[in-house]
Structure 1
Amino acid sequence: MSLTLSQYHEGSPLPPAFYEMTALEAAPLLLGHTLVRRTEEGDIRCRIVETESYGGVEDKGCHAYGGRRTARTEVMFGRGGIAYIYLIYGMYHCLNVVTGAINDPQAVLIRAVAPLTPEDETLMRKYRNTAVKKPVDLSGGPGKLCRGLRIDKSLNGQSLLERGGPLWIEAGRPLTNDVIMQSPRINIAYAEEYAAKPWRFFLRDNPYVPLLDKNVTAFK
């Protein structure tokens, strides 16, 4: 069964309707699509290979849990199809895709990406500016991919709908369910009973995805 929606033409920006889904619906569906970052040195295209869902006021792992509305979370309350970017540990940026309806805070964390071409990888290595011995070192983690793509808070609230901006998402090739795995999300012990929810999704055996969790199951 094809998981990604077949009406999306490969290479075309994902349409606004895609982002009307909840984060839990959109997180596995974003796998295989292409994140594009435009820089002064050229566009970098990467396949999205790992995501996590942070959905709504009920999710204790979500920044907007309980309807928490702050200067940081305000962008999550907007219409789906924009970027939510924040800083963790005072040094690492994280890229999230806002989904859902206005005033329903939903977001998908992009945890790992894979460059599509050697040229994309070369530019990412340059921006990472650190030793990269294996694929996971390049962009296997939200902070790593943001450094490799030069993504920071200046892009917070940026639309992801239009080709030619600094950041957008294009349709990739359809996937089938059997290449997708899921597990609990990473480093959210504070989320209590929500910490065990299998809301992390990733492509099986992809070298850019760190395993991190032994409690892995096939996507259902």
Structure 2
Amino acid sequence: MSLSYKEKYAPSLHEPAPIRAELVVRPDQLRVAFSVSLEAEGIEQTLPLLQRACEQLQRRAREATGTEVTLRPRDTRFNRSAPKKLSLPEDEDRTFVAVDGLLVLPLPAELDFWARGSRVGSLVRVCHEVERDSREVKKQPRFSFGSVEAFVSQPELHRAELLRRFVERTREVASALGSAEAPLHVVDCAPAGAVEQAPVSLEEVGLSLQVHCRLEVVRE
């Protein structure tokens, strides 16, 4: 079978999914989830090793991206290691310890699309290198990483605008469905929840605010 030049070398076209959000804003931070784990004899010796590995990860990410990198540990998991067929008696008390967390980097407003892409590329590269290096040496902390995402650091700052848009839409619905003889009014509203965000791209994050209200005809 032969392939044409276009079929073989042209990249496939990525069609972005439609953004289902009430407000689209520009992200100001990058984050990537990570997990680092180690199997050792005692928790007392393992946690300091994992802490040191996290500090080294933060330093490498800072050097690779040329910007401040915040490391946020979120959880620690402890599991007794499953016994192996040829394990020695001293290996029976080994424990698997893992630390999960986030690496967070700023995306300043002055960075254009290409500078943002370069920062993402640097972060992805250092994650690949750290994961590869951790797998080449036995009995050392092992890293794994998730996907890099762009997000908004303070989504609640957009609550007022989201509420304004909700009120405007509610008035439009009431006007369209009601009439002069039977006008619709808001009769019940539940407290609004937290502002939710959905990462879309390096330039877009969708924000939503769940507000549940009921419209009814009010008879005097």
Report the TM-score, using the length of structure 1 for normalisation. 0.23
* Structure index of larger Rg: 2
